[in-house]
Amino acid sequence: MSAALQNIRVLDMSRILAGPWAGQLLGDYGADVVKIERPGQGDDTRQWGPPWLGSESAYFLSTNRNKRSVTVDMSTPRGQQLIRELASKADVLLENFRTGTLQRYKLDPTELMRDNPGLVVCSISAFGQSGSRSGQPGYDAMIQASGGLMSITGPPDGEGGGPQKVGVAIADIMAGMYATTAVLAALNARTITGKGQYIDVPLYDSQVAWLANQNMNFLVSGKVPGRMGTAHPNLVPYQAFATRDGNLMLAVGNDRQFEKCASTVGKPELSD
């Protein structure tokens, strides 16, 4: 699988997580990924430690393997020209700047695609490239909250309850996964049409989309889903239980499994 994209060159102008995650996946599949960083500090996550491996943070290393990094000052005419030259030879351009940033630096994606008709440009942002909230920035935690994930994550209301954030930046990661899928689809379409595409991946839309069965539960029942701790909204038993020697996660997905579960715990009559 490492050589599947060996003929693809990616210009990764993104930073932090969602965009770099997509670039990393494309690199894992064999693409030649060139990461653009600002002079001096580089990607913000280079400073997100501890822990450190030498002078590099574990966070940065987790998201930027299989890449070559170069520094370019996009605020200067020379830096802008370098980006245009790199984009003219790239198959894919990834960016996750605040909406309108590239245009401000005279690097409008539509112009880059005009110079390189086969270029696939993928823009990742908090709320997308259009709409009333398009100009608003947003980190993962804000998207988890506003996109509904925290409303169904954590113990129910009450003592010790309340909304909780998922333990990893899952909104960023899933947006990166959606971006990767869209880029691969666009590259396949290019083999048919010979033309690249512009891809708009909002973190917010991605977050709402992968609420999946919870979305459909609401559309079918009209009931707003709530927090259930480790329990499942459709299946029982499907949650963590405290036992004398530690916590036990029990996941039973059908009647046959429940029969075996009931028999194993010495209560076969429960499956009658």
The structural domains of the chain, with segments of one domain joined by +, span: 9-209, 230-271
User: Which of left, alpha, beta for 22 (phi over 0: left; psi -120 to 50: alpha)?
Assistant: alpha
Q: Annotated catalytic, 172?
A: yes
Tell me the pTM: 0.92
User: What is 230-271's CATH topology?
Assistant: formyl-coa transferase, domain 3 (3.30.1540)
The pLDDT value recorded for residue 161 is 85
CA–CA separation, 70 vs 160, rounded Å? 47
* pLDDT tens track for 39-91: 999 999 999 999 999 999 999 999 999 999 999 999 999 999 999 999 999 99
Task: Tell me the CATH class for 9-209.
Answer: alpha beta
**Residue 125, H or E segment:** strand 120-125
| Cross-strand partners of 240 | 249
CB 25 within 8 A of CB 177: yes
48: region left, alpha or beta (phi > 0 left; psi from -120 to 50 alpha): beta
- pLDDT for 1: 55
**Given this model, what pLDDT does residue 158 score?**
83
Q: How many residues does the structure list for the chain?
A: 272
Cα–Cα nearest to 229, from 164, 170, 171: 164
What pLDDT does residue 272 have? 84
Cα of first residue to Cα of last residue in the chain, in angstroms, is: 48
User: What are φ and ψ of residue 9, in 5° steps?
Assistant: -110, 130
| The pLDDT of residue 190 | 99
Q: Residue-wise pLDDT tens for the chain (272 aa)?
A: 568 999 999 999 999 999 999 999 999 999 999 999 999 999 999 999 999 999 999 999 999 999 999 999 999 999 999 999 999 999 999 999 999 999 999 999 999 999 999 999 999 999 999 999 998 999 999 999 999 999 999 999 888 888 999 999 999 999 999 999 999 999 999 999 999 999 999 999 999 999 999 999 999 999 999 999 999 999 999 999 999 999 999 999 999 999 999 999 999 999 98
Amino acid occupying residue 215: N
Catalytic residue among 115, 140, 172, 200: 172
